[in-house]
Amino acid sequence: MFSTQTYADRRERLKAQFKSGLLLFLGNDESPMNYADNAYPFRQDSTFLYFFGVDHPGYSAVIDLDHGRTVIFGDDLTIDDIVWTGVLPTVAELAAQVGVTETAPAGSLAVYLQKAKDREIRYLAPYRPEHRLKLLRFLGLSLDEQDAKASVDFTRAVIEMRVIKEAQEVAEIEKAVDVTVDMHLAAMRMARAGARESVIAAKITEVAMAPGGNLGYPAIATVHGETLHNHGHENTLQNGQMFLVDAGAETAMHYTGDLTSTCPVSGTFTPRQREIYQIVLKAHLTAIAHLKPGVPFKQIHLLACRTIAEGLKALGLMKGNLDAAVEEGAHAMFFPCGLGHMMGLDVHDMENLGEVWVGYEGQSKSTLFGLKSLRLARPLKPGFVLTVEPGIYFIPELIDRWKAEGKFLDYIDYERLETYRDFGGIRIEENVLITETGCRILGKKRPLTIEEVEAVCKGL
């Protein structure tokens, strides 16, 4: 937990942006797995953590601007609870740690909101089913109107604060990235022929959990890196394959790292793997070299697309006018996703608050295949923390689909592409902080070049 003053200051800055009404913060509840009392590891709502710091289920809070009150709602334990869970701080003690002096039982939130029903009650869009139940119960909002009535002002105010990371937040993210590097090093050392993906995924999880954290998101550890979010771990590694890991640690404070590494199962890249890897690496380094305040991230994304297209043209996989190819989205055959996204308390930071605000400041998003998956487009500012993660993927289903449709025949050599259809995918990802003059890569050094990757794979 950060200092009491940190949370008090954040709330003051938020309050200063509103004149009247209430700001409602719904914390998260336990998420049941197969029955109510068998819950997944608790994950607090990130905005609740940011402003109120309380990392326990069943909490809510209200900032009442009309009456100058800030109230945390939660329930203390009974002796029956204590037998099962041990002693925990009281609601009042937890509130005091974040500078809130007024607390009330969880059940009284409904009463508080009922009394305020003629005033403006601002809330953030729900993303968990329990939030929907609460908005229905507490505010009488039907399921169909809950999204539309979420407060845009409140949402944007939260985003514009959280998007600029404090130095103490950056330090916490770097802790997460450091653990994440260890997860990847462990995975690369295990990625030998005969190893099972599930065994490596288990090790990755262990490394994330050992310091008291967890995974920030489900780990990808697969020989089928061409599937962007492949969470299956049922394969056994074979020589000739590439092994892709996309996994990140979340610290006990819930800041996260997000790295991707790709290595050859045999320990040595084949000539063809080297060629593709070098293109991805060049796109990665080119993107990072151009990151600085004021530059729209969309421009960096397109620069990476262009770099990838150039590399693929040199290999005979793409052809023709590359400016036109990238503009029309032909490169998305190989790079169908975005170059990166914000990162912080969430691995896709604040995705629940809406990409249109977090990544686009309300500007409309392209509907073009590929570009529509770009989560971040807006001009960069000092204090942004984001990922850079170009990749080249050979997706058999997409190849078949586009080939059958005769799509982009001017830009894609489908005959040559067929010889790559079992290649898999390569992605390289690092986490960066935008500084006053450019950017800084976060966390300790991780293997990036072919030589560095091979050295780790070979246990050098």
Provide, rounded to whole angstroms, the least separation between the CB of residue 226 and a second copy. 8
Does the footprint of a second copy cover residue 83 (CB under 8 A)? yes
Shorter beta-carbon distance to a second copy: residue 50 or 269? 50
Shorter beta-carbon distance to a second copy: residue 288 or 398? 398
The burial class, CB within 10 Å (0-12 / 13-18 / 19+), for 351 is: middle
Shorter beta-carbon distance to a second copy: residue 67 or 229? 229
Does the footprint of a second copy cover residue 128 (CB under 8 A)? yes
Contact at 8 Å (CB) between 55 and 49? yes
Does the footprint of a second copy cover residue 218 (CB under 8 A)? yes
Strand 69-73 relative to strand 102-104, pairing: parallel
Does the footprint of a second copy cover residue 106 (CB under 8 A)? no
Does the footprint of a second copy cover residue 421 (CB under 8 A)? no
What mask of x and - would describe binding to a second copy in positions 348 to 377, judged by CB under 8 A?
x-xxx----------------x--------
How far apart CA 126 and CA 46 sit, in angstroms, is: 13
> Collapsing DSSP states into helix, strand and coil, what is residue 172?
helix
> Collapsing DSSP states into helix, strand and coil, what is residue 219?
coil
Contact at 8 Å (CB) between 67 and 112? no
Shorter beta-carbon distance to a second copy: residue 215 or 291? 215
Does the footprint of a second copy cover residue 212 (CB under 8 A)? yes
Residue 408 Ramachandran class (φ > 0 left, ψ -120 to 50 alpha, else beta):
left
Does the footprint of a second copy cover residue 129 (CB under 8 A)? yes
How far apart CA 184 and CA 247 sit, in angstroms, is: 8
Shorter beta-carbon distance to a second copy: residue 196 or 282? 196
Does the footprint of a second copy cover residue 148 (CB under 8 A)? no
Does the footprint of a second copy cover residue 324 (CB under 8 A)? no
CA dihedral in degrees (168, 171, 173, 176; nearest 10)?
A: -130
Contact at 8 Å (CB) between 435 and 382? yes
DSSP string of 33-49, one letter each residue: EEETTEEPPP---HHHH
- Region near a second copy per CB under 8 A, out of 52-60, 205-213, 300-308, 315-323: 205-213
Shorter beta-carbon distance to a second copy: residue 174 or 349? 349
Does the footprint of a second copy cover residue 165 (CB under 8 A)? no
Does the footprint of a second copy cover residue 211 (CB under 8 A)? yes
Question: Which member of 8, 96, 199, 450 binds a second copy (CB under 8 A)?
Answer: 199
What mask of x and - would describe binding to a second copy in positions 220 to 239, judged by CB under 8 A?
----x--xxxxxxxx-----
Q: Which residues contact 143 (CB under 8 A, 6 or more apart)?
A: 132, 136
Residue 62's beta-bridge partner residues? 24, 71
What mask of x and - would describe binding to a second copy in positions 13 to 52, judged by CB under 8 A?
----------------x-xxxxxxxxxxx-x-xx------
Tell me the residue type at 347: V
Shorter beta-carbon distance to a second copy: residue 347 or 380? 347
Does the footprint of a second copy cover residue 198 (CB under 8 A)? yes
How far apart CA 70 and CA 11 sit, in angstroms, is: 9
Does the footprint of a second copy cover residue 58 (CB under 8 A)? no
Does the footprint of a second copy cover residue 206 (CB under 8 A)? yes
Q: Which of residues 435-454 bind a second copy (CB under 8 A)?
A: none
- Region near a second copy per CB under 8 A, out of 55-63, 170-178, 393-401, 416-424: 393-401
How far apart CA 455 and CA 184 sit, in angstroms, is: 14
Does the footprint of a second copy cover residue 90 (CB under 8 A)? no
Q: Give the long-range contacts of residues 51-54, CB within 8 A, separation 24 or more.
A: 51/7, 51/10, 51/11, 51/14, 51/25, 52/7, 52/25, 52/27, 52/98, 52/100, 53/1, 53/2, 53/7, 53/97, 53/98, 54/27, 54/94, 54/95, 54/98
CA angle 116, 119, 121 (to 5 degrees): 80
Provide, rounded to whole angstroms, the least separation between the CB of residue 228 and a second copy. 5
CA angle 215, 218, 220 (to 5 degrees): 110
Q: Which of residues 255-314 bind a second copy (CB under 8 A)?
A: none
Question: Which member of 19, 20, 84, 167 binds a second copy (CB under 8 A)?
Answer: 84
Provide, rounded to whole angstroms, the least separation between the CB of residue 102 and a second copy. 27
- Region near a second copy per CB under 8 A, out of 51-59, 83-91, 167-175, 430-438: 83-91
Question: Which member of 207, 291, 322, 342 binds a second copy (CB under 8 A)?
Answer: 207
Q: Which of residues 332-351 bind a second copy (CB under 8 A)?
A: 336-337, 345-348, 350-351
Q: With both helix axes pointing from N to C terminus, report the angle between 108-115 and 129-139 in degrees, rounded to the nearest 10.
A: 50
Provide, rounded to whole angstroms, the least separation between the CB of residue 79 and a second copy. 6
Shorter beta-carbon distance to a second copy: residue 198 or 268? 198
Matching residue, tokens 């249109």: 356
- Kindly determine how many residues on this chain lie close enough to bind a second copy according to the rule CB under 8 A: 71
How far apart CA 191 and CA 238 sit, in angstroms, is: 9
